[in-house]
């Protein structure tokens, strides 16, 4: 049996899987962020661990087969991390989330003091406030003492440390620090020293499928787990999920719809080029041997829907009420253009300072029209990423698999199909990131011979298919090309 963890921006999830990959039991807890008196958002490490521990106990009780657990896989949101004392394991900082822009100034310094293109070729990234190096420089500016005798751990690595007592990082999350060279799979020591940091701040790096360690008896007893279970880092949640939905094995791409939204595709490893750099996409090592992945991110996709839910009533509108409002408006383009940049923009034109906007509002528009425009604006942004990926890959992307919380909204999925003109497939895979983490643990523990075998054995059925309406697609394409792109370009010049 395998236990998997998915530590997300909004929720923490745990699953209990059997050898066939079936989900036997699951647990969910909120991942509660807090606002620091100094004005930045953070997660409290002990609160996070308390939620994880409670879910482990809950799962063991629900499954009733805890003695059979032999492996644990962990995946998490990327670019979120904390400083941990190397000797005691005590947190030396709060967890700084990926979306917190406190390190904008440090990201600008990194951009000014490096050859951005050469660093891209080595890391697959452009400088950003999201990445660990910028966050570390920001933490150092606040409290230099916290850096002494500390190690920077991703959220996944922190959970693995609490389970095993060992510190390590996997390739996909190490790569989201801007201090890890994917070209030689090692920390960039000259870059780290250039910015006045010690390489000892960064833990050993291991590929997916290599155990961090095992659960010792004392921890096992507290969590109702068997002692000796191996713990595996499954890495970046969006990449991890791609293993479970069949997109990698089929050579396709997949779209994850959560608080943030990403589009991910895999390709045979090669040197990164100027065209890759110009795309605005990010790149890194894929769990499949000799493969890289490209990723386009949109940081306020589901987040913008949640934002509007909180504005259209005295209390946050329920999901049922959202669907009622969407059912009341026409299925054709609604006439409002929404630029979905509540927290900056990602690919193909990364800009942390981009702002959101409604354009074309009139007195006849109501709540349903606003909701539909938010879904349309997010669909336009994902279309921009898809078109960019087509240019980089040199081949047409005619279908895309979709997972995440957003798939519950059939209006949104149909809008995305109509905007893009491609078929969207919804795999029948509950909790894709959890399933991917379980697959990683299965590979590491010998249940599967390789990631290729694990992906090929994952029998992915489709629970829904959304095909574009030709007339609506023509209307949306005109709006996308003549309005969305034009206003995005105009705002980028402001």
Q: What is the pLDDT of residues 476-490, one digit of tens each?
A: 999 999 999 888 766
- Out of 7-16, 104-113, 426-435, pick the least confident: 426-435
Three-state DSSP at 195 gives coil
**For residue 82, what pLDDT is reported?**
97
pTM of the predicted model as reported, rounded to 2 decimal places: 0.89
Q: What is the mean pLDDT of the chain?
A: 90
Q: Are residues 184 and 261 in the same domain?
A: no
Q: Are residues 262 and 226 in the same domain?
A: no
Neighbours of 219 (CB within 10 A): 18
Question: Is residue 377 in some structural domain?
Answer: yes
Considering only 28-32, 266-270, 383-387, 449-453, which range has the smallest mean pLDDT?
Answer: 449-453
Model confidence at 32: pLDDT above 70:
yes
Output phi, psi for 43, to 5 deg: -110, 145
Instruction: With respect to residue 165, please indicate whether it lies within any of the assigned structural domains.
Output: yes
Task: Please tell me the distance from the alpha carbon of residue 261 to that of residue 256, in angstroms, as a whole number.
Answer: 6
Cα diameter, the chain: 66
Contact 417, 424 (CB under 8 A): yes
Does the residue 41 lie in any domain? yes
Residue 204 tokens read as 């050993």
**Residue 314: is its pLDDT beyond 80?**
no
Does 395 share its domain with 491? yes
Whether residues 266 and 228 fall in one domain: no
Q: Which domain holds residue 417?
A: 246-428+461-494
My answer on whether 392 and 345 are in the same domain is yes
In this predicted structure, the answer to whether residue 119 has a pLDDT above a threshold of 90 is yes
139: helix, strand or coil: helix
Task: Check pLDDT > 90 for residue 418.
Answer: yes
296 part of a folded domain: yes
What pLDDT, on a 0 to 100 scale, did the predictor assign at position 249? 54
Encoded tokens for 191: 């870059």
Question: What is the C-alpha to C-alpha distance for residues 482 and 423, in angstroms, rounded to an integer?
Answer: 23
Alpha helix stretches (DSSP H) within 95-183: 104-112, 116-123, 132-142, 155-164, 171-174
Tell me what pLDDT residue 248 has.
63
pLDDT at 63: 64
267 - beta bridge partners? Answer: 292
Alpha-carbon distance of 157 to 170, in angstroms, equals 8
Residues 161 and 309 in one domain: no
User: Does the pLDDT value for residue 459 go beyond 90?
Assistant: no
Asked whether 182 and 171 are in contact (CB, 8 A), the reply is: yes
Q: What percent of the chain has pLDDT over 70?
A: 96
- Check whether 428 has a pLDDT greater than 90: no
Domain boundary among 211, 239, 267: 239
Query: Residue 494's pLDDT is what?
Result: 47
**Same domain for 292 and 197:** no
For the CA atoms of the chain, what is the radius of gyration? 22
In this structure, what CATH number is given to the domain that contains residue 379?
Answer: 3.30.420.40
What is the rounded average pLDDT of the residues 324-351? 89
Q: Which of 27-41, 78-92, 123-137, 219-233 has the lowest mean pLDDT?
A: 219-233
- Among the residues of 186-311, which ranges form H helices? 189-194, 217-223, 237-244, 274-278, 301-309
Burial letters 283-308, b for 16+ CB under 10 A, else e: bbbbbbeeebbbbbbbbbbbbbbeeb
- How would residue 416 be classed by pLDDT, with cut points 50, 70 and 90? very high
More confident residue, 453 or 216: 216
Q: What is the DSSP letter of 481?
A: I
Residues 307 and 216 in one domain: no
Give the pLDDT band of residue 405 (cuts 50, 70, 90): confident
Statement to judge: residues 229 and 318 lie in one domain: no
What is the pLDDT at residue 73? 96
Q: Which of 246, 302, 239, 238 is nearest to 427 (CA)?
A: 246
Number of H-type helices and E-type strands within the chain: 18, 23
Q: Does residue 441 lie within any of the structural domains? A: no
What distances in angstroms separate CA 188 from CA 175, 183, 184, 218, 393, one per listed residue? 11, 10, 9, 37, 28
Residues in Cβ contact with 236 at an 8 Å cutoff, skipping those fewer than 6 apart: 75, 76, 78, 172, 173, 176, 284
DSSP 345: B
Say if residues 94 and 47 touch (Cβ distance below 8 Å). no
Q: Which residue in the block uniquely carries the two structure tokens 């992945």?
A: 293
Question: Is there a single domain that holds both residue 229 and residue 255?
Answer: no
Helix locations, 15-80, DSSP H: 45-63
Average pLDDT over residues 87-116: 96
Instruction: Output the pLDDT for position 31.
Output: 94
- Same domain? For 83 and 220 the reply is yes
Asked if 6 and 73 count as a contact pair (C-beta separation under 8 A), the reply is no
Q: Report if residue 443 sits inside a domain.
A: no
Identify the domain boundary among 195, 223, 239: 239
User: What is the C-alpha separation between 370 and 51, in angstroms, rounded?
Assistant: 36
Q: Mean of the pLDDT values across residues 234-258?
A: 81
Whether 435 maps to a domain, the answer reads no
Q: How many domains does the chain have?
A: 2
CA distance 334 to 368: 10
- Rounded to whole angstroms, the Cα distance separating 49 from 8 reads 13
Distance CA 333, CA 178 (A): 40
Displacement of CA 191 from its chain's centroid (Å): 25
* Position 444 in a domain: no
All residues at 6 or more sequence positions from 77 whose CB lies less than 8 Å from its CB, including other chains: 7, 8, 9, 97, 98, 155, 237
pLDDT confidence band for 55 (50 / 70 / 90): very high
Among the ranges given (141-150, 212-221, 249-258, 265-274), the one the predictor scored with the smallest mean pLDDT: 249-258
Q: How confident is the model over 248-305, as pLDDT tens digits? A: 655 578 898 888 889 998 888 999 999 999 999 999 998 888 889 999 989 888 889 9
Residue whose pair of structure tokens reads 């900056």 in the numeric block: 344
223 and 319 within one domain: no
Of 196, 211, 239, the residue that ends a domain is 239
d(CA 122, CA 178): 9
Candidates 333, 359, 355, 331; CA nearest to 345 is 355
Other CB atoms closer than 10 Å to residue 58's CB: what's the count?
18
Segment 360-393, tens digit of pLDDT: 999 899 999 999 999 999 999 999 999 988 888 7
């Amino acid at each position: 049996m395998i236990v998997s963890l998915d530590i997300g921006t909004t929720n923490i999830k745990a699953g209990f899987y059997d050898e066939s990959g079936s989900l036997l039991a699951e647990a969910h807890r909120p991942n509660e962020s807090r606002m620091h008196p100094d004005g930045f958002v953070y997660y409290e490490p002990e609160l996070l661990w308390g939620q994880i521990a409670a879910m482990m106990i809950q799962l063991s009780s629900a499954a009733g087969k805890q003695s059979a657990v032999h492996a644990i896989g962990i995946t998490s949101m990327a670019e979120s991390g904390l400083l941990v004392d190397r000797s005691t394991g005590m947190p030396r900082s709060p967890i700084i989330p990926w979306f917190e822009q406190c390190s904008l100034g440090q990201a600008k310094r990194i951009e000014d003091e490096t050859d951005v293109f050469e660093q891209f070729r080595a890391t697959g990234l452009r400088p950003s406030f999201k990445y660990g190096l910028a966050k570390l420089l920001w933490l150092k500016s606040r409290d230099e003492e916290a850096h002494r005798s500390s190690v920077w751990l991703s959220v996944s690595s922190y959970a693995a440390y609490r389970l095993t007592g060992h510190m390590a990082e996997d390739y996909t999350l190490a790569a989201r620090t801007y201090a890890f060279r994917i070209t030689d799979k090692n920390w960039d020591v000259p870059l780290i020293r250039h910015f006045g940091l010690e390489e000892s701040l960064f833990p050993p790096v291991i590929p997916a499928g290599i155990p961090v360690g095992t659960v010792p008896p004392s921890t096992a007893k507290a969590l109702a787990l068997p002692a000796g279970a191996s713990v595996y880092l499954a890495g970046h949640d969006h990449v991890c999920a791609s293993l479970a939905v069949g997109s990698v094995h089929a050579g396709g791409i997949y779209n994850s719809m959560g608080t943030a939204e990403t589009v991910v595709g895999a390709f045979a490893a090669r040197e990164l080029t100027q065209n890759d750099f110009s795309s605005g996409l990010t790149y890194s090592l894929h769990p499949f041997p000799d493969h890289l992945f490209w990723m386009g991110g949109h940081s306020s996709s589901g987040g913008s829907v949640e934002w509007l839910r909180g504005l259209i009533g005295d209390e946050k509108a329920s999901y049922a009420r959202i669907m009622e409002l969407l059912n009341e408006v026409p299925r054709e383009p609604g006439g409002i253009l929404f630029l979905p940049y509540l927290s900056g923009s990602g690919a193909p034109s990364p800009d942390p300072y981009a702002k959101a906007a409604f354009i074309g509002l009139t007195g006849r528009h109501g709540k349903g029209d606003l909701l539909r425009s938010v879904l349309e604006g997010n669909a336009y942004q994902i279309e921009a990423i898809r078109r960019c990926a087509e240019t980089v890959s040199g081949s047409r992307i005619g279908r895309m698999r979709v997972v995440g919380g957003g798939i519950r909204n059939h209006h949104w999925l149909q809008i995305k199909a109509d905007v893009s003109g491609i078929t969207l497939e919804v795999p029948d895979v509950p909790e894709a990131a959890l399933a991917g983490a379980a697959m990683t643990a299965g590979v590491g523990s010998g249940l599967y011979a390789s990631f290729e075998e694990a992906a090929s054995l994952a029998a992915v059925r489709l629970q829904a298919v959304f095909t574009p309406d030709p007339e609506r697609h023509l209307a949306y394409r005109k709006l996308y090309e003549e309005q969305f792109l034009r206003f995005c370009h105009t705002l980028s010049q402001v």
